[in-house]
Amino acid sequence: MPQCSSRALAENLSDVSEFNSNYKYLKRLIQNLKVENSDSIKKELFGDSEQARTLNKKDMKQLFKFLRKIEHHYEELSNPPIPIELEKSIRSRSREKWLPWEFEAIQKIDDWQKELEEKKGKAKSLLESTLDKARRGEKLD
């Protein structure tokens, strides 16, 4: 029995040392290739290596101004037509017990939520188009 375990241990050690030497060789080879051909390897692995256009100070100011405008507009739209606590109170009761003005209030909230979702989509597409314009160097409105 001791002979079998010592033979297995010797085989495992040789496998480990062979693996380590192969690993070190491949690592060194890859590092050398990277140094010699860094641009072409990046292009091959990650696609086109051309970086996106960087924005100058004026472009950044325009972009931040536009983003603040969107943020301010969104904050104004995000205020519900009735207080949240009142909505929760109304919705917690059964619909049969609602008063006529409560139906109207809930309808206003539902309409407001639908309108807000539509405006979120429009704002998102507007933001994406503005970022694309900034990347291309076009004037931001």
pLDDT tens by residue, 77-131? 778 888 889 999 999 999 999 999 999 999 999 999 998 888 888 878 887 887 7
Dist. CA 128–CA 112, nearest whole Å: 24
Reported pTM: 0.45
Ranges of each domain in the chain: 2-46, 57-136
The whole-angstrom distance between residue 72's C-alpha and the CA centroid of its chain comes to 22
Q: With cut-offs at 50, 70 and 90, classify the pLDDT of residue 140.
A: low
Task: Compute the distance between CA of residue 51 and CA of residue 95 in angstroms, rounded to an integer.
Answer: 58
What average pLDDT does the chain have? 75
pLDDT at 23 > cutoff 60: yes
Q: What is the pLDDT of residue 42?
A: 58
Residue 53 burial by CB count (10 A; 0-12/13-18/19+): exposed, middle or buried? exposed
First CA to last CA distance, the chain:
84
- How far, in Å, CA of 62 to CA of 137, rounded? 12
